[in-house]
Structure 1
């Protein structure tokens, strides 16, 4: 349900969304690969919070060869969590991406 909501929100905010990897419908974690008009890739993961709803956190990856490092990170996460979902959201701006995440809490 969260995955389809993210896709709808991305499209409603003038962006594009694609499922890069389908995970388990009920148990899989979700990784978001964000792009701004095809550029500036950044990876986000949702983590539980002790004092409220789960929060999306940017995964820290060095900018050198970022595309390759993102692919390696995702591949390692799939090995550890075979139920994981990977979505790509290509949005017009970082502000719209923030709005999408805020609307899903």
Structure 2
């Protein structure tokens, strides 16, 4: 029997509001499927790119964040190309930019 879970739209909404309440900045760059779209976090800290993280199942009933995409030192063009490839393969994908201290930990606490 399937367990109840929050929708992608709800999780993204909570992440954006919680980030704002903590003094950070979050914006939805790409809006995906509201029910079950995959969520990618583009993590920044004071405008410095930290990388991309994807919310993935841990196969134990929970979720975790996994690093994905190019390394931040590859530049914004490599990041844009990666996101374009992912969007063409999965049009239901969400992309959320999160600029807050320790963005990866913050996102994991909120959506995992």
Q: Do both proteins adopt the same fold according to a TM-score greater than 0.5, normalized to the shorter chain?
A: yes
Unaligned 5+ runs, structure 2: 1-9
Q: Which residue of 1 aligns with 2:4?
A: none
- Offset of residue 70 of structure 1: 1.2
Distance 1:60 1:75, change over 3 A: closer
Distance 2:16 2:98 in 1: 8
- Offset of residue 65 of structure 1: 3.0
User: What TM-score do you get using the length of structure 1 for normalisation?
Assistant: 0.86
May I ask how many residue pairs the two structures share in their alignment? 103
Distance 1:62 1:103 in 2: 23
User: What TM-score do you get using the length of structure 2 for normalisation?
Assistant: 0.81
- Higher relative contact order structure (alpha carbons within 8 Å, sequence separation ≥ 6): 1
Does structure 1 residue 47 correspond to structure 2 residue 75? no
- Offset of residue 27 of structure 1: 2.4
Selected match of 1:37 from 46, 52, 73: 46
Runs in 1 of length 4+ with deviation above 4 angstroms?
none
Q: Is the 8 A contact 1:31 1:86 kept in 2?
A: yes
Unaligned 5+ runs, structure 1: none
**Which structure has greater strand proportion?**
1
Matches within 5 A, 1:18-97: 18-91=27-100, 93-94=101-102, 97=104
